[in-house]
Structure formats: structure tokens, C-alpha cells
Chains A and B, each alone.
Chain A
């Protein structure tokens, strides 16, 4: 069945550092891919999405490119801020919507 695997956290970075959170997936067909974010005390919310190969999703300085050849959808940001501290979930929708295990990001000033 479909599955999503994320790099384990927690990830701790200094402000303005470069961020990469790896996400790989296994799926039949052509799923849509998502990154959701959960800020402290809040619910999950959509950060960005991509619906087909080579699409790039972007929002709030975050980007992720749908790579079918490597079955990956890594999340990147060039310069993180303290306010980016949250848990990030990679997700796939090809039938059911399923999530990776989440990666906690902590950004220190």
C-alpha cells in the first residue's frame, strides 16, 4: 500500500539557517503530495502541495518539488525563522490521505 517516510526529528537550527526535511513515498499511480504544518497549540494546516511530477509547491518561503524519479518531496527553506518552529508532516493522497510520522523543527534565535 501507499506509505510516506520522513526524516526523524527533532531538528534544531539557528535562525537564518538552511532547512531540508526529507520525505520519500511509495505509491501506485500518481498521487498528490502535501506538506502540512502544526504550530504549537494549533491544528494541522496545509503548507504547500504538488499534484504531478516536477510540480513545485511553495508558500511562506518553503518549497518542495515532486520528484517522481526519486519518489521524493523534500521540504526546503533558505532561511528559517524562530516562528517556523513547528511539526511538519509530509502527506500523500492517492486514495486515502496518509501522513508521515512528522518532523519537529526547533529554531533558536
Chain B
């Protein structure tokens, strides 16, 4: 398809387990972000990566959160040892180019994670 697709749409995980969330971004887009969205706290950047023909640069993993990009248009966000505070909507955003400035971001519909 033409848009950004995330899977699964909903995920329930037991506390302490690891989870993996998938994002299929738009072919040809260079930069990919993962955000965590919670009501009242907005969207927090978890990690981002940029890829070009030569290399793949990933944002510094933040503790239990890491992202892999096995293919240029696919990213997997991994959350280790989930905590109840990880319950949120996880958004993937795809940006066409490395240009700074006015490049629009295209978002997936998000994965709602509930940790029980």
C-alpha cells in the first residue's frame, strides 16, 4: 500500500515479557521514528533511524527500548521487560528525506499496547 502500516493494532502483554511491534514504512523514505503517545503527555521520541545506500544509523536505544531495521522499509520496535507504565499507543512515522526543515512525516495508525 501507499501508507505506513503498523502491526499488530492491539497488543496485550504480561508484565516482564518482551514485545516486538512492527512498522512497514513507505518505500524510498529515509527516516523512521518511533514515538510513544500517552494522553496528556503527548508523543515522546523513543528512537529514530536514517538509512541510505551506504549505512543505517539508529538512534541511541533508550534502556529497554530498541529498534531494528532489517529492511529499509521495515522497522521493529522491541520493548524488553515490559512494565505497566509502558501501556500506551506506539506510533511509527516515516519521512521521505534527510533534508532538515519542512518535510512532512507520515504516520501509521499506531499499536495500542496494554501491559497487565
Residues of A within 8 A of B41 (CB): 101
User: Scoring B residues 48 to 70 as 1 if CB is less than 8 Å from chain A, else 0, what string do you get?
Assistant: 10000000000000000000000
- Of B12-20, B71-79, B98-106, the stretch lying at the interface with chain A is B98-106
- Residue of B whose beta carbon sits closest to that of A97: B105
- Of A11-19, A44-52, A76-84, the stretch lying at the interface with chain B is A44-52
- Residue of A whose beta carbon sits closest to that of B104: A46
Contact call B109/A43, Cβ cutoff below 8 A: yes
B26 adjacent to chain A (CB < 8 Å): no
Residue count of chain A within 8 Å CB distance of chain B: 23
B40 adjacent to chain A (CB < 8 Å): yes
Contact call A97/B33, Cβ cutoff below 8 A: yes
- Residue of B whose beta carbon sits closest to that of A102: B42
User: Scoring B residues 64 to 97 as 1 if CB is less than 8 Å from chain A, else 0, what string do you get?
Assistant: 0000000000000000000000000001010100
A43/B100 contact (C-beta < 8 A), A100-B42, A101-B42 known: no
Contact call A49/B104, Cβ cutoff below 8 A: yes
| A29-59 contacts to B (CB < 8 Å) | 32, 34, 36, 42-46, 49, 51
Contact call B109/A96, Cβ cutoff below 8 A: no
Contact call B45/A101, Cβ cutoff below 8 A: no
| A67-109 contacts to B (CB < 8 Å) | 89, 93-102
Interface of A toward B, CB cutoff 8 Å: 6, 8, 32, 34, 36, 42-46, 49, 51, 89, 93-102
